[in-house]
Amino acid sequence: MLIIPSPDRLPFHPVLPGGWDAFIWHHQRVKVRRGWAKDGLVWVPIMQMAAAYQASATGNGFSAQAGATSALSISGSERAAIVLFYIADTGVSGIAVTVGGVSCTAVSGATVTGNGITMALYVCVNPPTGSQTANATWTGTSNWLIACIQATGVDQTTPTTTGVSVGSASGTSQDVPVTSTSGDLTVTGNFCSAVDTAQTTNKTKRTTDYACLDTGNGTGTQTHTWSHTLTNMQAVGTNLKAAGAAAPPDQFAKVLIKASPNA
């Protein structure tokens, strides 16, 4: 029997896009004849792609009916974007959010309203590559903030799996628990009544503004903790689902084995 030790030592490439990164590698035993492996096909279990942070941008303004972030460079495959939209008026209507001209959808459960503000997360699937902006329009006139992060390796059918909102915190920190699985990317947004950029997080802060975004690596329930010296904070959160995460364990990819010496 020929034991294939690792993918980097094989003289072939898997059929699926993404190369060996698309697979969980398990040693495969291939029948041999006269010291050589026969050409043939083996089945290799598919691995989910990990959702990964790629780029971010933010922007804010006053007394307007539309706003946009600065430009962010969108790239990679299995793309998705999360947009944090904050508006200093609970009475506005007709909110529409886009990234690179592609419409976003509000993340269910990830909206918080109170203390004269509304803040929500939106998700955009497959935004175009290149230099893009996240934009919002609404009916009414208000101060606003938009922050955006782009990620790769995100499920294109069900990009988010949970939405979280946390009301006004009574203390100098605020916990935002987000349910996830291995390979996912958790995202939360935080607003502080200090209206400055001094919030800190126990995860990775991705945008710096008076409302901020951070990300965490998905594994079970991830608790994002935002901190500030003032007490009035509000937060929202969601989970970006890794591409292929829902594939059953018996799903395999067909891979061509070319003849090679029997080591």
Q: What is the pTM of this model?
A: 0.77
The pairing of beta strand 93-99 with beta strand 102-103 = antiparallel
pLDDT digits (tens, 9 = 90+) for 76-94: 999 999 999 999 987 889 9
- Token readout for 113 is 């309203």
The enclosing H or E element of 68 equals strand 52-68
Residue whose token pair is 């294939």: 4
What is the per-residue DSSP string for 215-228? EEE-SEEEEEEEE-
Q: Look at residue 21 and give its three-state secondary structure.
A: helix
pLDDT digits (tens, 9 = 90+) for 228-258: 887 788 999 999 999 974 444 444 444 454 4
pLDDT digits (tens, 9 = 90+) for 96-126: 999 999 999 999 999 998 878 899 999 999 9
Please check the confidence at residue 217 and state whether its pLDDT lies above 80.
yes
Per the model's pLDDT, the better-predicted residue between 130 and 6 turns out to be 130
Least confident of 14-18, 129-133, 160-164, 201-205: 14-18
Q: Is the dihedral of CA 200, 202, 207, 210 positive or negative?
A: negative
